[in-house]
Amino acid sequence: MSFLGARGRLEAELVPGAGYEVDLLDLSGIDRKNPVKAARAAAQAAAAIPRAGKLIRGRGADAVIGGGGFVAGPAGVAARRLKLPLVLTEADRHLGLANRLLAKRANRVCLAFPIEGLEGPNVRITGRPVGRAVLTADRERARERFGIAGDARCLLVMGGSQGARSINFAAIEALAERPGRDFDVIHVSGSRDHAEIQGRLEEAPHGDRYTLLEYEPDMGDGIVASDLALARSGASVFELAALGRAAVLVPYPYATGDHQTANADWMVEAGAAVVVSDADLDADRLLSEVGSILGDPDRLAGMSRASKSLARPNAAAEVAEEVMGLIGEGP
């Protein structure tokens, strides 16, 4: 197995770091607010199709899996030109541009959630695969790592690899600079705000029982050590569900198609989460939402059960089954 990514993107570091080979294309995301940049990105994507085809042939690929995003477009078109099986995966409740363009040409479309209007013999609801490190995370070991007592309550704060500015600063103010907190905190700030958050934590009068991390390669330990998460609502909602964690979700307001709100609604509808809009999040609102859940054991337990009911632990195996079945069918 090998990967196809974009030069200058995070996968250029993460994929080799995980022990896999990666080929890189010169591509840019489509800026919907800038027609000139959007046209340039579209031209790059068109020019990348032959290059993607050459790389796919060079790897001797038997099938191509598209995960959405701007690399998936050229790779998917190249796969169909090469008459290779094409399997698309969609992690959100909104079909991204590349997947929308390729869905009718794909052999299979594996969805994390049902999407209204998208159905047919090539569509399957698999859930979103989560990493083995999440599925096998051990609570006792993780709590020992973070120095959290076995009977203590713990909040996980996270906002993605770059972090979420509104979450980061509401959290440090509410949970380290104000008195009254009676639970542990694991805060994964992301790289952008880390230095500033670290400086504020060092000066905070109530910074005890507060673990600040810049980046965590997988969130298994943080999720399993916690009882409640404060987070965005991207792909992490499936990681939270896998381990049965209740959540206070703050959808990223500028996500394409507002898909993070749709993802959050999935957990809310099940009773596993509450949603706070990014514009409404501040230290007072954070304390109110988090305190009311952690302070009510029955409510927390009910939300946790609801979250676990959403888990799809076999998602990766189901997607792999689709791929291998298509390879077995031959050209």
Contact 50, 1 (CB under 8 A): no
Please give the residue range of the domain that contains residue 169.
133-309
Domain co-membership, 122 together with 149: no
| Percent of residues, the chain, with pLDDT higher than 90 | 72
Q: What total of structural domains would you count in the chain?
A: 2
pLDDT band (50, 70, 90) for residue 162: low
Domain co-membership, 255 together with 281: yes
Contact 83, 97 (CB under 8 A): no
Contact 274, 249 (CB under 8 A): yes
Domain co-membership, 73 together with 203: no
For Cα atoms 94, 1, 136, give the angle at the middle one, nearest 5 degrees: 70
Domain co-membership, 179 together with 49: no
Element (H, E) at 123: strand 123-125
Domain co-membership, 95 together with 159: no
* pLDDT tens digits along 268-299: 999 999 999 999 999 999 999 999 999 999 99
pLDDT band (50, 70, 90) for residue 8: confident
Domain co-membership, 232 together with 317: no
Element (H, E) at 246: strand 246-249
* pLDDT tens digits along 211-229: 999 988 789 999 999 999 9
Domain co-membership, 303 together with 176: yes
Domain co-membership, 120 together with 46: yes
* pLDDT tens digits along 31-81: 667 777 778 878 888 999 999 999 999 999 999 999 888 889 999 999 999
* pLDDT tens digits along 190-204: 988 999 999 999 999
Contact 61, 81 (CB under 8 A): no
Domain co-membership, 226 together with 317: no
Domain co-membership, 215 together with 280: yes
> What is the arithmetic mean of pLDDT over 253-269?
90
CATH of the domain at 38: 3.40.50.2000
Q: What is the mean pLDDT of the chain?
A: 92
Closest of 221, 217, 215 to residue 134, by C-alpha:
221
pLDDT at res. 31: 65
Domain co-membership, 177 together with 117: no
Domain co-membership, 323 together with 243: no
